[in-house]
Amino acid sequence: MEQQPYALISIPITRLWWMSNGSLYVGANGKHMTSGGFRTRHLTVVGLGMMGGSLAMALREQAEHITAVEVSAESRDYALKQGIVDTATDDLQAGVKDAETVILCAPVRIIQSMVKQRIGAWLRSNTLLIDIGSTKQDICEAMASLPIGIQAVGGHPMTGKDASGVQFADRNLYRNRPFVLCPTRRTTPAARLRALDLVAALGAIPFEMEAQRHDRLVAAISHLPYLLSAALVATVAKEGEVDPTVWELAAGGFRDMSRLAGQDVVMMGDILSTNTTAVATLLALFRVQLAQLEAMLISQEHDQLARSLYPTREARLNWYQRYENGHKT
């Protein structure tokens, strides 16, 4: 087989990437082999919430020293006492100036602000800079203006918990879960390999794609569902103004469908405001689907309505089986 750098070869179960040095990256069932394995002398995690804390724990053995940059003194103290990090500060410049690897684990707009205004001047040349923001296009565009020599790659791990805070950090949070990597103008071949090694060290499954494609896909599977969940709760709340008993009758189905409406509003506002076009497009497509169901319901085309629901049921069951299998170690 002719080896072609950067070409993705898709085969069932296993994902293969030819690297620029001719070595082969293999991802299968959560086990990865990379060109050399991720090691870093000094790792800095900016933002020590549940996601950032989980990253620090997962990379504990790969980093000689881990620094956390976190505004919350309580979170800093907890992470130090638990041995999650070695040092902690609320000073971004002090926290990143000696780091070989920096991971930005903050809300999207805060990441954008850091990249645009400050962090580039404080990083050492050849530092690997990755973020885990939920939208990628704006962040990757901001990374393009970083000083030459900064090895910047956009990232987004597709995992999480309802709980927030470093006390809920989990070293296995990223294992067997997708981790999207998006190239920027500052992503050299070496930076790409280092980012892939980092993802492998987490036990995650790498997916490489352009930022615009990422934002379109997550609009469908994450941002649209949030708005639908919020709209459902708002609809039930209106019904509750007429008959409050609706809340007492609500059970498992409503709990599952309404869960996303409980997410942090500020965080979701940042995400939606940086992915407006993709989310609006998906909302329009959803309205078409809903209108079709409404038309069949009103016209009492019950057989046709049932037939239209079978494919969606199968699609959901097939996806859920793959999702559950992905969580098995």
More confident residue, 236 or 15: 236
pLDDT of amino acid 26: 39
Coil, strand, or helix at residue 150?
Answer: coil
Q: What pTM did the predictor assign? A: 0.84
CA 178 to chain centre: 8
pLDDT of amino acid 182: 98
Task: Say if CB 177 and CB 203 are below 8 A apart.
Answer: no
* Neighbour tally for 321: CB within 10 Å: 10
pLDDT higher than threshold 90 for residue 69: yes
Task: Please write the tens of the pLDDT for every residue from 223-276.
Answer: 999 999 999 999 999 999 999 999 999 999 999 999 999 998 989 999 999 999
Task: Please write the tens of the pLDDT for every residue from 93-107.
Answer: 999 999 999 999 999
| Ordered structural domains, the chain, with CATH | 40-208 (3.40.50.720), 214-327 (1.10.3660.10)
Q: What is the DSSP letter of 259?
A: G
